[in-house]
Amino acid sequence: MRETMTAVRAHRRGGPQELVVETVALPPLGPDEVLVAVHAVAITFTELEWDESWTHAPVIPGHEFSGVVEATGADVSTAEVGDPVFGLIRFDRQGAAADYVAVPARDISRKPESLSHTETAALPLAGLTAWQGLFDLAKVQPGERVLVLGGGWWCRCVRCAARQTCRGVRRRDGTRSGCLICG
């Protein structure tokens, strides 16, 4: 296995102008972690300004990722080498804008077969936000109807989280309205 990798890093707070590409050591692998070969990463545009991102420096951004398990820690039983996975890394850890990322096995899920790595890397934060909005804040219960104003990944995430069939709402002229009704 390689000892180094390429990573995007920031040495101080700021925007994209602070990002540099560097060769760094491969992240160490803990007993409960997986090493993922990163295929796609999503970077939230303000994350280089967040206090949580600066518990260590320099910072590797990009906490939403998709890739393939390259190695597993001794205590990992939920993932195997070669598994396509995705996840959301806690913001007090190094991100995934690199060739590899070490992440707790509990923080990954199997990549949906119907989505590319790029599409999948865009899911975690939007999915978590949709889940929190539906179930933690709105306290949606089985059998209730939900109107989602918007589209794209929000609707896909709500559909998955609610585990209900969603249908598109169409305008009188037959075009899609960007809304979904679940329930």
The pLDDT assigned to 179 comes to 46
pLDDT, mean over the chain: 82
Task: Please state the pTM of the whole predicted model.
Answer: 0.78
The CA distance from 159 to 181, in Å, is 9
pLDDT tens-digit profile, the chain (183 residues): 789 999 999 998 888 888 999 999 999 999 999 999 999 999 887 888 888 778 888 999 999 999 999 999 999 999 999 999 999 999 889 999 999 999 999 999 999 999 899 989 988 887 777 777 777 887 877 767 666 666 555 555 555 545 544 444 444 555 444 444 444
Could you tell me the two tokens for 124? Answer: 């975690």
146 and 162 Cβ atoms separated by less than 8 Å = yes
Beta partners for residue 20, in sequence order? 9
Do strands 64-72 and 108-110 pair parallel, antiparallel, or not at all (unpaired)? unpaired
38 and 99 Cβ atoms separated by less than 8 Å = yes
Domain architecture of the chain: domains with CATH: 4-113 (3.90.180.10), 124-182 (no CATH)
Could you tell me the two tokens for 61? Answer: 């951004």
The pLDDT assigned to 11 comes to 93
